[in-house]
Every structure is written in C-alpha cells, then in structure tokens.
Amino acid sequence: MFFKKKKSTEEAINDADKAVNKGLSGFLTKTFMGQEFVDQANYGLDQAKKFSGQGNLAMTGMPAKAKVISIQDTGTLINNDPVVRLTLEVIPAYGAPFQVTGDSPVSKISVPRAGDEINIKYNATNTSEFVVV
C-alpha cells in the first residue's frame, strides 16, 4: 500500500510520452513551454525508445569489427554517455564487409575517433541497427 511496483524502462518512457504529448499535461506543456521544448523532449524520448531496446542487441547481435570512417556528436546523452552518429566500415565474421551510418551511445571515457577499429554487435536481419560494445 505504501510501496509502488517498480516500472520497467518501457513503461517509464511511455508515461513520459503521455505526459508530454497527451491530455491536460500535454496541452499545458505545449502552452507554457512551447513547441520547441516539446520537439526536444520528443527527440529525447525517441532516442530513449531506440536505445532501451539495444540491451537485447548487445546480447544477441552478431559480433563484428568496424573501422570508424567518421564520427559526429548528436548532443544527446544517455546515462551521461554521449550518443554519436557513426559511419562505419563493418567487417563481419561471416559475409562481405559493408558500410553503415547510425547513432549509438559510446563511453565518455573512450570515445572512438576516425580511423579507430572498434567492436560492435549488429542486427543480422537489419544491418543498419548496431551498438558499440
């Protein structure tokens, strides 16, 4: 009665989405904070939705080496780690090398640079989905 059940990450993200975009709280947010704030909040929520599912990819994805062709900061932080836009030349264990561009969180302690070789895991059915490991 005094303690609430802990919410999953997905439930918390969905609650935040409802608060910003729906009902009275959504109306008040748009009215008093402005559309630019709502757009930024929605971008952050989209990133959270995208990367909350990457825990599974880090466990079940196909391992590969990748050479960093370019890196760009997106200005987003997840758990105080930067999310960067990477263009990679992926060298999978099986199959032909391929190039991919996408966003991924990286450790703020060891941000890769152009020319570095890094370890990734990628979705074999959709190679545009990857995570730096």
Shared domain check, 118 and 67? yes
Containing domain of residue 45, as a range?
A: 9-52
Q: Say how far residue 129 (Cα) sits from the centre of its chain.
A: 10
Is 82 a member of any domain?
A: yes
Judge whether residue 59 has pLDDT over 90: no
Residues 24-31 have a mean pLDDT of 89
Spell out where 13-97 has E strands.
62-78, 81-92
Domains identified in the chain, total number: 2
pLDDT digits (tens, 9 = 90+) for 74-131: 988 888 889 899 999 999 988 899 999 998 889 999 999 999 999 999 988 888 888 8
**CA 61 to CA 63: how far, in whole Å?**
6
Note whether 18 and 48 are same-domain residues: yes
Mark whether 40 and 88 lie in a shared domain: no
In-domain check, residue 125? yes
- pLDDT at residue 84 in the model: 94
Q: Are residues 25 and 70 in the same domain?
A: no
pLDDT tier for residue 41 given thresholds of 50, 70 and 90? confident
Instruction: Give a yes or no: residue 1 inside a domain.
Output: no
2 located within any domain: no
